[in-house]
Structure 1
């Protein structure tokens, strides 16, 4: 169709050849305009195709020139890779620190165990027993020689009010110690913790235990006038001896007395250096 239009148009108009280009262009436009709507549409379509072709070529060239594979990665990807590398390095560092601390802990535990195994035992010492004022120490007991007189039951109650009891005497050494504390006199006598008040001739200590043996004077106890309580006598007669100085007497008599308080030594622990 395009060829026919050109041929038809050429048959009706003259084509001028010459150096006047401006006139030729004007003439060409005039000729195209005069050729009708088909020729103009064809020219516009050709121009659009050319523009589209040029655009495709430019995009293809730009795509080919873009780095592929080994080119620079996007910024977000680079940042992610840096973060992963940093975390990996931190984890490795923490693992090394953990191993170091475990080795140090094992070393300290072994050192402590060795020190405990070779440590000398603590030295336990007993503080010396001290008695209250006017009380006298013998072995682990403190004794009070009273200056006031009471009957046997009242003497027993007074000793108990002091956290003590009437003296209980088991050995000749204890008997001699107490007898030496007593002053000499015409008939100095002192209650101590012995009685047969429950059953005649069954002497018991104030703690309820039976009296075995004892340090009675010859012929004592004789229960001369309902004598159910025991006392110690010390006179001016030098021939008298401590181990034969017990007598029995009525419990209602007023006499001085001897109290005894058992003491417990306090322990103190000294740690070795």
Structure 2
């Protein structure tokens, strides 16, 4: 037992010496090797393992780099169903706004095109209407009415003819005569009409002319011969005064130049004999009889 143990111990010592041969200069080349086979095995065995170790380390490094790259990629990419980053939201909004602006621009262009087509159609319609207008006007326009021609001794003003009598009658007889001529005692509504008639009357000492106004039915309620009430009037200062049952109106024109048309009406008894003024509206069927 002692011999076997010593042999193993010595063999271990020689193996250690062989492994450290390149590092211990005090060991000489003359020392006897314990086992040639073991020496060759110890020297040549580390080569393949070292290559395998280097390959494995390289593969590990590549795998580690790949894992880091994939992790970084998925870390920056938002997960499905999660909230988008502000940058992504802004990009999405920008895209939507751009799309909306493009749609608005397209609609505006379509609107402009439609307006242009509408204007063209309107121009064509106007041109067609203009070409047909003369025919329509020619076929629908009535001939202008013939000019009003008053009978002899009658004077035209607006659409009425007026007659200044040369003989005298009382107020009722004067109205009857005017009616026989297709008219009535003159009804004077405007200052222009009053002035027109005033200028037809001759001046004299006291030239008085009946016209169509009376308050015979109700005192101080003057009405025209067509029963419409008087509004305003062209009375002389202090008239009407009903001095002696004066119920009919007349126009007075004297030689006094200070007298004016718009202050020339007086009231007088209807039984007085005066000259008179007839009025006749002109129209289809109007009488053309010559008064005398």
TM range (shorter): 0.5 to 0.7
How far off is 1:199 after superposition?
0.2
1:206 aligns with 2:222: no
- Aligned position for 2:180: 161
**1:129–1:265 contact (8 Å) kept in structure 2:** no
1:184 aligns with 2:203: yes
TM-score normalised per structure 2: 0.50
- Aligned position for 1:120: 136
Equivalent of residue 144 in structure 1, options 163, 169, 172: 163
Equivalents in 1 of 2:257, 2:190: separation in Å?
22
Can you list the C-alpha shifts for 1:75-119, whole angstroms capped at 9, x where unaligned?
Answer: xxxxxxxxxxxxxxxxxxxxxxxxxxxxxxxxxxxxxxxx97761
How far off is 1:129 after superposition?
0.3
**1:166–1:257 contact (8 Å) kept in structure 2:** yes
**1:146–1:258 contact (8 Å) kept in structure 2:** yes
Equivalents in 2 of 1:140, 1:129: separation in Å?
7
Equivalents in 2 of 1:182, 1:159: separation in Å?
18
Equivalents in 1 of 2:272, 2:170: separation in Å?
5
Equivalents in 2 of 1:206, 1:219: separation in Å?
23
1:193 aligns with 2:209: no
1:22-41 to structure 2, matched below 5 A, reads: none
TM-score normalised per structure 1: 0.54
Asked which structure has the greater RCO (Cα within 8 Å, sep 6+), the reply is: 1
Can you list the C-alpha shifts for 1:24-45, whole angstroms capped at 9, x where unaligned?
Answer: xxxxxxxxxxxxxxxxxxxxxx
Equivalents in 1 of 2:217, 2:152: separation in Å?
35
Equivalent of residue 268 in structure 2, options 225, 230, 249: 249
Structure 2, unmatched stretches of 5+, are 1-130, 286-292
Q: What SS does the aligned partner of 2:144 have?
A: strand
Can you list the C-alpha shifts for 1:143-179, whole angstroms capped at 9, x where unaligned?
Answer: 0000010000000000000000000000000000000
Q: What SS does the aligned partner of 1:148 have?
A: coil
- Aligned position for 2:73: none
**1:126–1:265 contact (8 Å) kept in structure 2:** no
Superposed CA RMSD in Å reads: 1.9
- Aligned position for 2:110: none
